[in-house]
Amino acid sequence: MKQFISAHDVKDINAIVEKALLYKADPFKDKTIGVNKRIGCLFLNPSMRTRLSTQIAAQNLGMEAIVFNVGSEGWSLEFEEGAIMNGSTVEHVKDAAPIMGNYFDILAIRTFPTLKSREEDYSEQYIQQFIKYAGIPIVSLESATLHPLQSLTDVITIKETFRETRRPKIVLTWAPHVKPLPQCVANSFAQWINAWGEAEFVITHPNGYELAEQFTNGANIVHDQNEALKEADYIYVKNWSAYQDYGQVLSTDPSWMLTNDKLKLTNNAKVMHCLPVRRNVELSDEILDGPNSIITREASNRVWAAQAVLNEILRSN
């Protein structure tokens, strides 16, 4: 694997899921593969699970992980081609990235969308410029429109917990939130479930919250949440801001919060969320503290997803 930016970078999703589950069973089985290799983890935005799980995954493979908080530990980067840099940005990605490429063997980057310009965010200019200029494999720790390490984890968690031979019904449902959030996790989940192709996949959200078709194509989109949840095996709960009316909060309708009453409509569905979750806004306490939540397992699987990805990249170089 040359990079890990989206589902399209993975040839065989089932194979990488299998690899991740082998690491879960035996975390240190490839402990020397990364010796004398180094991953740089650049955070342009906050991170907890992604930050920690990536460091742990690298260490499990014998790699050194070096974390750098762009902005607080260093300075603001410029991404505009031809910019006359007399403002607040201090260094151009064209100058910074090639040096990272010489310092590290793999470069992992987190960068959020602005939620102001859809065109700019969906061009993925930040991570694309790192890819263009760094000259080494780039791993997305969440970019403007996608969060592939999360989505790989989600597929791992579904495959790990689904014990039947039939295809599971998976429902991605929008949930209320107090702030405008990126579409990344929802986009990425849709992209991966579609690419995986082994589920019945339904997306439900209020009118106006349609996601970009490049990611949802293949899913069944239903605007009645109750209808969508029927017979679901997995419910993936997530807020996102509008894609059409870009970055806007169009609804905070509390009836979209997932509760035990709604669970009754499902096939005793397992409930997933990428975290952090706003309790009693997106999901009720009763669900998060109840038997259907597999959220801790899901977040814990982040380590094995990252470890499988880093292994694939190390083996290709």
Annotated binding site for N(2)-succinyl-L-ornithine: 142, 177, 238, 278
Nearer to a copy of itself, 1 or 100 (CB): 100
Nearer to a copy of itself, 16 or 274 (CB): 274
Q: In the 3-class helix/strand/coil scheme, how is 119-156 assigned residue by residue?
A: HHHHCCHHHHHHHHHHCCCEEECCCCCCCHHHHHHHHH
* HSE-CB of 8 using CA atoms within 13 angstroms: 4
Q: Residue 141 CB, nearest distance to a copy of itself (Å)?
A: 13
Q: Does 96 bind a copy of itself (CB under 8 A)?
A: yes
Q: Which stretch binds a copy of itself (CB under 8 A): 160-168, 192-200, 229-237, 291-299?
A: 291-299
Q: Does 265 bind a copy of itself (CB under 8 A)?
A: no
For residue 67, list its beta bridge partners. 41
Residue from 8, 99, 114, 253 touching a copy of itself (CB under 8 A): that is 99
Q: Residue 102 CB, nearest distance to a copy of itself (Å)?
A: 4
Other CB atoms within 10 Å distance of the CB of residue 25: 8
Per-position x/- string for 154-193, each x denoting binding to a copy of itself as judged by CB under 8 A, each - no binding: ------------------------x---------------
32-35 contacts: CB < 8 A, separation 24 or more? Answer: 32/62, 33/61, 33/62, 33/311, 33/314, 33/315, 34/58, 34/61, 34/62, 34/63, 34/310, 34/314, 35/62, 35/63
Q: At what angle do helices 184-196 and 148-161 cross, to 10 degrees?
A: 50
CA distance 40 to 52: 13
Residue from 2, 8, 26, 28 touching a copy of itself (CB under 8 A): that is 28
Q: How far is CA 154 from CA 76, 88, 293, in A?
A: 32, 38, 13
Q: Does 276 bind a copy of itself (CB under 8 A)?
A: yes
Q: Residue 164 CB, nearest distance to a copy of itself (Å)?
A: 26
Say which DSSP state 82 is in.
T
Type of residue found at 37: K
Q: Does 296 bind a copy of itself (CB under 8 A)?
A: yes
Question: At a CB cut-off of 8 Å and minimum separation 6, what does 179 contact?
Answer: 249
Q: Which stretch binds a copy of itself (CB under 8 A): 36-44, 159-167, 192-200, 260-268?
A: 36-44
Structure tokens at 8: 């399209």
Type of residue found at 235: I
Q: Which stretch binds a copy of itself (CB under 8 A): 97-105, 156-164, 167-175, 198-206?
A: 97-105
Structure tokens at 77: 């980067």
Q: Which of the residues 72 through 91 are near a copy of itself (CB under 8 A)?
A: 72-75, 78, 82-87, 90-91
Query: Which residues of this chain interact with a copy of itself, rule CB under 8 A?
Result: 27-28, 36, 38, 40, 43, 46-49, 51-53, 55-56, 59, 64, 66, 68-69, 72-75, 78, 82-87, 90-92, 94-96, 98-100, 102-103, 178, 275-281, 285, 288-289, 295-296, 299-300, 303
